[in-house]
């Protein structure tokens, strides 16, 4: 069983690349489910079929579904929110609780995760491909399994506290499904899913991007946050690459600009493998077109496989009370090394090679104290 998640900014081609991957897997004879957790659904358009939150067989071995989170919340979970607010009103701890609610990932993420868990556990599929929502939401989603235990404990705590003074409210606001009974069960599922997501032989994270400045930055943010949560990137998929030259000066200018950003991508994601797909002149819809795209992208490699595995790509640790960011840069000879911070970006210049990393919030605003290069790993220490 494999879980493959595609992440990245909106519009870069996550849905297209996910659908293309799933089609390739299905045509290799494996059963695959592609699931979209983005509220901006377009999977149905990519396949040219109607989809819902029940899997539909698009062609042999290829199943697809769109998780309708809003509908699900509306149907089953809104009462929980009403219930919370009724407690908050009586409790007098509004502010703290409100704050906690604000920082803790919410129901939407949990619902998406439960769908992934269900599909992975169903035993029906050899692979589950997840066409994820753009970065912010997905990062909350991926951070969720870890914080979920804490979250459900809080909910349980509020529940028992509420019984004393809000009993009359209970009957009115009790969720249709008994959510408090469900919590320990969901908690178990989350733990199990977290294990699966952390297991590199099961789960693979890939970022989709285009050769454009803002898109690259978002993709780097994906990499940083994946690393923080202990997940690793297994490939970067560069989509919508223009042909290498054109007689049209306008197109040529765009091509030159892309060429610059393609080099940036090569440097920034190294040593993670990079796969490229051209901007097609025709829309990439229907399984045949999606299959062609997969052949172009993975050129002979099986997209169901783990395409890259290395634990050391990027790590952040606290050593003797200080944050140390380590970057794995094999085969890099260091003659000249410069580390600079620009806003939330860390720029590492090694000889003529520049790697930039989007810093996690905890490091933004800190100065670097030193950098050393040891056994292919660059360690950067941040001041407190
Ligand atoms: N390689 C490509 N060539 C041409 N059009 C593409 C390509 N990849 C994606 N598209 C188109 O770009 C648009 C956005 O792609 P989509 O996969 O929906 O992005 P996302 O899911 O990241 O928002 C869609 O209209 C899609 O058909
Ligand atoms: Mg999409």
Q: Which residues pair with 350 in a beta bridge?
A: 337, 353
- How would you classify the pairing of strands 127-131 and 32-36? parallel
pLDDT digit string, tens, across residues 166-217? 444 444 444 444 555 656 666 777 778 888 888 889 999 999 999 999 999 8
Q: What is the pLDDT of residue 162?
A: 47
Measured in Å, residue 295 CA sits from the centre of ligand 2 at 20
Q: Is the CB of residue 23 below 6 angstroms from any atom belonging to ligand 1?
A: no
3-state secondary structure of 381: strand
Return d(Cα 359, Cα 343) in angstroms, integer. Answer: 9
Measured in Å, residue 130 CA sits from the centre of ligand 2 at 10
Measured in Å, residue 42 CA sits from the centre of ligand 1 at 9
Q: What is the pLDDT of residue 78?
A: 56
Residue whose CA is at the smallest distance from ligand 1 atom 23:
11
Measured in Å, residue 364 CA sits from the centre of ligand 1 at 33
Q: What is the pLDDT of residue 384?
A: 85
pLDDT digit string, tens, across residues 226-241? 777 778 889 999 999 9
Q: Which of 37, 41, 219 is nearest to 117 (CA)?
A: 37
Measured in Å, residue 34 CA sits from the centre of ligand 2 at 12
Contacts of residue 93, Cβ cutoff 8 Å, sequence gap at least 6? none
Q: Which residue among 16, 283, 296 is best mutated to probe the pocket of ligand 1, counting the most ligand atoms within 8 A of its Cβ?
A: 16
Q: Is the CB of residue 283 below 6 angstroms from any atom belonging to ligand 1?
A: yes
Q: Is the CB of residue 284 below 6 angstroms from any atom belonging to ligand 1?
A: yes
Query: In 10 A of CB 106, how many CB atoms?
Result: 17
Which ligand is the nearest neighbour of the Cα of 239?
1
Which runs of E-coded beta strand occur in 249-344?
274-278, 314-319, 322-328, 337-342
* b/e map 197-210, b = 16+ CB within 10 Å: beebebbbbbbbbb
Q: Is the CB of residue 48 below 6 angstroms from any atom belonging to ligand 1?
A: no
* Sites in the chain below the pLDDT cut of 50: 85, 88-89, 93-96, 98-105, 162-177
- How would you classify the pairing of strands 274-278 and 233-241? parallel
User: 234 φ, ψ to 5°?
Assistant: -110, -15
Q: What is the pLDDT of residue 3?
A: 95
Which ligand is the nearest neighbour of the Cα of 37?
2
Q: How many helices (H) and strands (E) does the chain have?
A: 11, 15
Query: Helices 94-103 and 78-91: crossing angle, nearest 10°?
Result: 150
Cis amide leading into 98 (omega within 30): no
Ordered by where they begin, the domains of the chain are: 2-70+106-298 (3.40.50.300), 314-382 (2.60.40.790)
Measured in Å, residue 301 CA sits from the centre of ligand 1 at 22
Q: Which residues pair with 319 in a beta bridge?
A: 322
Give residue for tokens 């003074």: 165
Q: Is the CB of residue 286 below 6 angstroms from any atom belonging to ligand 1?
A: no
Return d(Cα 193, Cα 112) in angstroms, integer. Answer: 12
Q: Is the CB of residue 313 below 6 angstroms from any atom belonging to ligand 1?
A: no
- How would you classify the pairing of strands 353-358 and 32-36? unpaired
């Amino acid at each position: 069983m494999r879980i493959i998640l595609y992440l990245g900014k909106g519009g870069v081609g996550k849905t297209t690349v996910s659908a293309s991957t799933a089609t390739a897997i299905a045509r290799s004879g494996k059963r695959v489910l592609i699931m979209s957790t983005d509220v901006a659904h377009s999977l149905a358009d990519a396949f040219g079929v109607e989809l819902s939150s029940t899997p539909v067989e698009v062609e042999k071995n290829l199943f697809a579904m769109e998780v309708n989170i809003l509908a699900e919340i509306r149907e089953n979970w809104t009462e929980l929110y009403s219930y919370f607010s009724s407690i908050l009103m009586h409790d007098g701890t509004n502010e703290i609780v409100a704050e906690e609610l604000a920082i803790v990932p919410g129901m939407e993420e949990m619902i998406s995760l439960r769908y992934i868990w269900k599909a992975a556990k169903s035993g029906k599929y050899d692979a589950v491909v997840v066409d994820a929502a753009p970065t912010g939401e997905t990062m909350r989603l991926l951070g969720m399994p870890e914080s979920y235990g804490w979250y459900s404990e809080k909910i349980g705590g509020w529940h028992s506290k509420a019984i004393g003074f809000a009993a009359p409210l209970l009957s009115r606001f009790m969720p249709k499904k008994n959510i408090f009974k469900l919590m320990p069960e969901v908690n178990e599922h989350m733990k199990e899913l977290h294990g699966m997501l952390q297991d590199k032989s099961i789960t693979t994270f890939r970022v989709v991007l285009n050769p454009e400045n803002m898109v690259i930055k978002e993709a780097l943010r994906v990499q940083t946050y994946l690393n923080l949560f202990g997940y690793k990137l297994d490939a970067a998929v560069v989509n919508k690459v223009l042909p290498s030259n054109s007689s049209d000066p306008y197109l040529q200018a765009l091509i030159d600009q892309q060429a610059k950003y393609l080099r940036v991508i090569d440097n920034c994601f190294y040593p993670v493998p990079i796969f490229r797909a051209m901007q097609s002149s025709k829309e990439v819809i229907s399984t045949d077109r999606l299959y062609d795209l997969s052949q172009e992208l993975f050129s002979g490699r099986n997209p169901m496989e783990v395409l890259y595995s290395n634990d050391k790509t990027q790590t952040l640790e606290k050593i003797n009370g200080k944050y140390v960011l380590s970057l794995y840069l094999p085969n890099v000879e260091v003659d000249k090394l410069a580390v600079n911070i620009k806003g939330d970006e860390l720029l590492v210049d090694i000889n003529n090679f520049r790697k930039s990393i989007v810093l996690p919030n905890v490091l933004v605003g800190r100065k670097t104290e030193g950098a050393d290069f040891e056994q292919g790993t660059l360690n950067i220490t941040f001041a407190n």
